[in-house]
Structure 1
Amino acid sequence: RKLFIKDMEDKISIIKRLNSQSKNLKNIHIEWHEKRESEIVKSLQISIKRILYFLREKKDRKILPLVYQALFYIKEFKEEDHKEIEQRILQSQIIHHQVALTFWGGIFLFLALSIAFIMLVQKNLILPILELKKMAGAIKEKNFTYSFQYQNQDEIGELKKSLEEMAGELKEFYQSLERKVQAQAQLLVRSEKLASLGTLVAGIAHEINNPLATISICAESLLKRGKEDKPFDKDREEYLSLILEETLRCKKITGDLLEFARYNEVQFEEVNLLALLEKALVFFEWMEKNEPKKVHLHSFLPKKIGPIQGEPNQLLQVFINLLKNAYDALEEGGNIYIKVQELSKTIQVKIWDDGAGIEKENLPRIWDPFFTTKKVGHGTGLGLPITHTLLEGHGAQIEIESEGKGKGTMVKIVFPKEHKDKEG
């Protein structure tokens, strides 16, 4: 019994100690604490049962105070412990809320700072860099006046200032270069004009010299026979015919030169190219009768096309010149083709043949005055230069293609649909 009482006192002492220590142990896990409490209570219940047993058997009233004391401490222990648990739970919830608030507050603050930082970087770094890129692109396109607002005295500001200085220097350089180029171009144009004039004069001298030589020989022969009192009735008609023929040849040369020089002394009007081509084909029929060849004409003409602005007589001369060149290229007969095609902004006229063709080394020279590949007496070499000049005055483009000798020639003319009236 003494041992039992001693054991009870030890257990009660443990409960007291646990009760006092529980107030200071704030970080003890709740699950462990409840387990420990359950074990102590269970042990006390067993002890109480034993006390009751002794009471029934031995009738010892001294044990009763111990029982009451044990029950009191058990009750006090549980109440204090429950309060401690509730307090810890409350503290845990408060800490949880504080941690949650701190966490989400930190995230919100981080996002706000990130957005502010991005906006700051965009304003002070990205946008100025993009503007610098635009400025560099503008300088590349020779726009030296492009700039943007940036007042900060940092690296970007220094770079902007450097680009502006470089743009100013480049502007002065390009202006100086353009002046030099214009001066050189004027000298080159003058040189080319002089060279062209020299070529033209040489061509005129060559073309006129031949008929003048014939005229001179015939005239001298007639004069000589007249001085010698020799009869010249037999040769007079032949000599006079030669003189007239060569005189007309000189007249044609001078006429072509005048046409070549005064191409712009005209007034434009509305012109139907199909009607002009029909007139040119009448001239083609006349050529066939005057100089018969086995030449077949193939025309691919639409029923209707829109009008263009031009001078009808000049354009008719262009088509006649091109048809005559094609006809002359078919010495042994062949085919000539004409095709007209209307596009959205232009009208294309193609004239090609399967005749003699043009050697590739001669293609760059076909626009030179008096250059010709025809036999002597069959052309002055002014047909294509006049054609080119007339078409240039109409804002049209002309191209001539040939794969070589014996492979035919194609002429392509592109007329603009809209062309301002032109007055000389």
Structure 2
Amino acid sequence: MKKRYTLLLSLSVLYANAQTSQYLKAVATKADAMQTQIVSWRRDFHEHPELGNREVRTSGIISKYLTSLGMEVKTGIATTGVVGILKGAKPGPVVALRADMDGLPVTERNNLPFKSTVTTEYNGQQVGVMHACGHDSHMAILMGVAKVLSDMKGDLHGTVKFIFQPAEEGAPAGEKGGAEQMVAEGVMQNPKVDVVFGLHINSQTEVGKITYRPGGTMAGVSDMRITVKGRSAHGAYPWSSVDPVVVSAQIINCLQSIVSRNVNITENPAVVTVGAIKGGTRFNIIPESVQMDGTLRYFTEVDHKLLTENVRRIAIKTAEAYGATAEVQIPYSNQYPVTFNDVALTQKILPTLQTTAGKNNVLLVPPVTGAEDFSFFQQKVPGIFFFLGGMPKGGNSLTAPSHHTPDFYIDESGFTLGVKALCNLTLDYMASSKKK
């Protein structure tokens, strides 16, 4: 049985490589010819970022372009989402390709000619807006893919659904949005999607490289809110209080023992982080309550349950020990599943990535504790999410500015590799499916 499996695996790899070589030159030529246009789109999006569910200008540019390519275009999905449908000349599967559109409430520090100077109101504060995670790159790359595959329509054995998604970073308070909402509004239907591919630029991976991982690739995430209630008093007479500040400090310290003492970190990583503490109004007044907001990260449902149960137990029992009470909400506003790359599909498409980028440039990496709502698409159909290098060659991954920071920077020379990868994945998947 083992020999038979090895033979079948070898034949599938050879077949995938043969299919890739069939289209490789045409895709490469078309993608390289679009480099200037892709960079131009990216810089325009970068200079004019919009927050989640506010991507009005952005979606307008995208929908107009997809329409110009002769696609059936749907707008207003999950508020500002855009979907373009490209029907190939021959029957076959439906392949979905996704890019996210929203920027972040970050003030840019880079001195670029296309630097963002946009400001807006977010959570009651005036903030800068910046594409500090690379979504501008994702959109420009997918628009390039749309052009290349439209030009190759006669070679398509199936349909391509281009999904431009709003609010990947989360919808504003009180609103719905993102991949979950697009799925709820039927984006994976009419026509029904068979497989979904997506990529994410990485500012700490050298340009020209692609990284991937089968199985759990990015963490599932639940936000949490812990509200500690005590008894207020004058700061000069703490014995009259049940101090929620002291109780909160003890809870935070105890929460750190969950990962270090309860999670088997040899199997899966996990994270418990408190990121915000709100309590009190004046230096000499012990407040009545303190609110803590944080995040849980996990790669299995077993660990998700373990983290949730331990946070509740520690917060409630620690507060009780000090005469206070604690209310725990997990999640309190959003929760993303684990971004899980279908293992069999990963094995199937790996030769395509290796042929496109060069085998030595396609790297298997550990799981990432960041989260992605691409996972909602993967709950419906098999999907692959991989990373595209965006750090200048020779850069230091330890010192390169990370995502979600004011100094976030991307080398634009790697964009065409992203175009080629998504095009070749689509063409190869269709070709392999028609032979079944």
TM-score > 0.5 by shorter chain? no
Could you tell me the TM-score, scaled by structure 2's length? Answer: 0.18
Structure with more contact order per residue of length (Cα contacts < 8 Å, sep ≥ 6): 2
Could you tell me the TM-score, scaled by structure 1's length? Answer: 0.18
Higher share in strand: 2
- Structure number with greater Rg is 1
